[in-house]
Amino acid sequence: MSIIKALFVWAVLAAGALAQTQAAGGGNPTNPTGVYSAAYVLNGGTASQTGQTYNAASDYEFGVEVLNGGVLTLTGGVISTTGQIGNGVEAGLNNSTTPSTVTLTGVAITASGVGGNGLFAAAGGASITMTGGSILCTAQFGHGVLAVSSGKVALDSVAITTKGSNGAALANDIAAATITANNITAATAGQGSPGIYAIGTGTVITASNSTFTSKSETGAAATGGGKVVLTNTAMTGAASALKTLNQGSATSTITVTGGSLTATAGDVIYGTGEPLTVSLSGGTTVSSTSGNLVNAVTSGAVTLNLSGENVSGKLTADSTSTITANLTNSTQWSGAAANAAISLDATSTWNVTANSTLTTVTDAAGIAGSSITNIAGNGYIVYYNGSLAGNSYLGGKTYSLANGGYLAPVGSTVVVAPAVYPGGVANAASAAAGIAPGAWISIYGTNLASGTAQVGVKDLVNGYLPQTYQGASVTINGISAYIDYASPSQINVQAPADSSTGNVTLTVTTASGTSSITTAMAQVMPGIFASSGYVLAVRPSDGAILSAAVPARPNDVLEIYATGLGATSPVVAPGLVFSGTYYSSVVTPTVTIGGVNAPVSFAGLVGAGLYQINVTVPPSLTANNYPVILSQGGVNSPPALLSVVTN
């Protein structure tokens, strides 16, 4: 049976968007006759089917079609289509003003033709409800679910997979179409195939307790006034987790409560060409490879509302775009901003991670005299536009921020002293807090040096590492340390000789000022150098550098490297650069691998602050990853892993 469909010619959406059943261009298939058929048609009336199989093999042939107010119930069974524009289930494309209704339970739907959607709900408020079962669409323009023109779809416990390009798991368009999904799992693989795509004012897609994974596109897109609502849902996209696509001037909205937003190759939120409002609450977790919480480009206008959230990431807007971030209800945000407007209520805080530029900052409740209490500057400068009316309450002044740093008008000159982070002094090998004489130490903070550089031969002073480098110097207990690397956020030093123990003061000095911190000193502080948690070791028999992928074997002799092992004979002055000479440890350390003693044949300095320990892997060890612990003077190093195989 067939029917002429003369009322609807659906427009194609642009790249990255969805394609409608009867497309007018853009590479979509079209039906030149406008004539469609179906393996099963219900034209009005009521029917119920159980365990049936419907196969549609021709172009423009649906698996099941319900029209003119028909009410169909399908339980179990299989629906399969292979032709172009072969929707699995189609409801409502007809002249009737009476909505058609389809109820599916445990049905498996497959559409493998170009433009073949799993479910399609359209005219007159046609409604499809699906519980359990699965949907698989494998070709271009094949969406798992597509609702248009007041169509309604409700899903519960359905697995949806699309494999072709321009095929969203859930998509809607035109005149208040709605999709509601609960407890679904959706995966899309093709280019331009988001997990969710909502376009047009009045269109709404709601997902709860669900998981969406888009391999090549954004997780969820709302554009042209579309609306997406996510509750306790894990949304993962490649280019971004959330996105708008420049499909109109109406404001699109995405509301997220709980769940997670993950971008595997881009930004958490990406806005371009139109307004987008995103609201996060309920403890939503976010992560992105770019480090951007929001990236607005090419006339993008993103409003981000954070209520009771604890999130991190940069807010970055190009010169044509805007970002407005509103922090309320004890929100904690950690990040930097470029060309963004920030508003904080009295309960919320901003932890600044880099120098930032703001259009406006609304934070009257945080100002106490010449200080701001709810923005932690961490030594950075936040610039605001003093000419904007929204900043008039700041009076063009410079304000000090909590934990160092300043809020200052653009164009002002601010000198910022170095600031060592609390707990920012650690063994450079093991990251354990504290200092030992002659050991390598890493210092973390802000504005620690004027530039970033590694000491080279030309920087040595009479064969010693410099004590002033990149405008910075470090003293430990009043004695100058030797610098090997310096940057604004990290300095690596070799601690000077000192017989003291207990708390000492470490001070970083630059032309802008000083920063001091109290830290513990011990005469030994063993730390094993490691990479990704695995011991940095060399096997001399073949020159192999060991790692998780290059394991050791029982009875192998290994050279492992460490710092903080104490005195040698003869004594070597800290800071002296040397190679090719070995200075044995006065006390030979012990090494265990997996709790088994590993014989030590040599331990001593082979470079400034660098100890080499030659150990034999115990023959009793079987294939596994084992913790290696280095002990000196009764002090154990934090463990590092060694991979062992027996073949």
**CATH code of the domain containing 610:** 2.60.40
pTM above 0.85, yes or no: no
Q: How confident is the model at residue 93 (pLDDT cuts 50, 70, 90)?
A: low
Is position 241 within any domain? no
Helix, strand, coil content of the chain in percent (nearest 5): 0, 50, 45
Structural domain span for residue 131: 1-179
Q: Sign (positive/negative) of CA torsion 215, 216, 218, 223? A: negative
Is position 127 within any domain? yes
Please indicate, yes or no, whether residues 588 and 501 belong to a single structural domain of this protein: no
Please indicate, yes or no, whether residues 75 and 161 belong to a single structural domain of this protein: yes
> Among 287-301, 368-382, 605-619, which is the least confidently predicted range?
368-382
Specify the pLDDT at position 19: 30
Average of per-residue pLDDT across 367-391: 93
Please indicate, yes or no, whether residues 426 and 490 belong to a single structural domain of this protein: yes
Q: How confident is the model at residue 255 (pLDDT cuts 50, 70, 90)?
A: very high
pLDDT at 26 over 60: no
Distances (CA, A) of 447 to 64, 329, 335, 519: 67, 32, 17, 20
Please indicate, yes or no, whether residues 424 and 572 belong to a single structural domain of this protein: no
pLDDT at 20 over 80: no
**Residues in CB range of 54: below 8 A, 6 or more apart:** 39, 40, 63, 64, 77, 78, 79, 80
Q: How confident is the model at residue 379 (pLDDT cuts 50, 70, 90)?
A: confident
Average of per-residue pLDDT across 469-491: 97
Specify the pLDDT at position 94: 56
Is position 187 within any domain? no
Distance CA 29, CA 411 (A): 57
Please indicate, yes or no, whether residues 550 and 511 belong to a single structural domain of this protein: no
Distance CA 145, CA 126 (A): 13
Specify the pLDDT at position 32: 79
CB distance 327 to 355 below 8 Å: no
Is position 17 within any domain? yes
pLDDT at 10 over 70: no
Please indicate, yes or no, whether residues 509 and 533 belong to a single structural domain of this protein: no
> Among 74-83, 206-215, 373-382, which is the least confidently predicted range?
373-382
Percent of the chain with pLDDT over 90: 85
Ramachandran angles phi, psi of 39, nearest 5°: -65, -35
Is position 216 within any domain? no
Specify the pLDDT at position 12: 25
Is position 212 within any domain? no
Average of per-residue pLDDT across 540-568: 96
Q: What is the mean pLDDT of the chain?
A: 92
Please indicate, yes or no, whether residues 497 and 614 belong to a single structural domain of this protein: no
The alpha-helical segments, DSSP class H, found in 240-321 are none
Percent of the chain with pLDDT over 70: 94
Specify the pLDDT at position 175: 66
CB distance 300 to 321 below 8 Å: yes
Specify the pLDDT at position 24: 20
CB distance 36 to 62 below 8 Å: yes
pLDDT at 123 over 80: no
445 versus 32: the higher-pLDDT residue is: 445
Please indicate, yes or no, whether residues 617 and 564 belong to a single structural domain of this protein: yes
Please indicate, yes or no, whether residues 440 and 494 belong to a single structural domain of this protein: yes
Q: How confident is the model at residue 579 (pLDDT cuts 50, 70, 90)?
A: confident
Strand order in the sheet with 419-427: 419-427, 440-446, 490-494, 482-486, 453-454
Q: How confident is the model at residue 11 (pLDDT cuts 50, 70, 90)?
A: very low
Please indicate, yes or no, whether residues 463 and 599 belong to a single structural domain of this protein: no
Last residue of a domain, one of 126, 154, 179: 179
Please indicate, yes or no, whether residues 501 and 554 belong to a single structural domain of this protein: no
pLDDT at 378 over 90: no
Please indicate, yes or no, whether residues 44 and 109 belong to a single structural domain of this protein: yes
Provide the number of structural domains found in the chain. 3
Which SS3 state, helix, strand or coil, does residue 365 take? helix
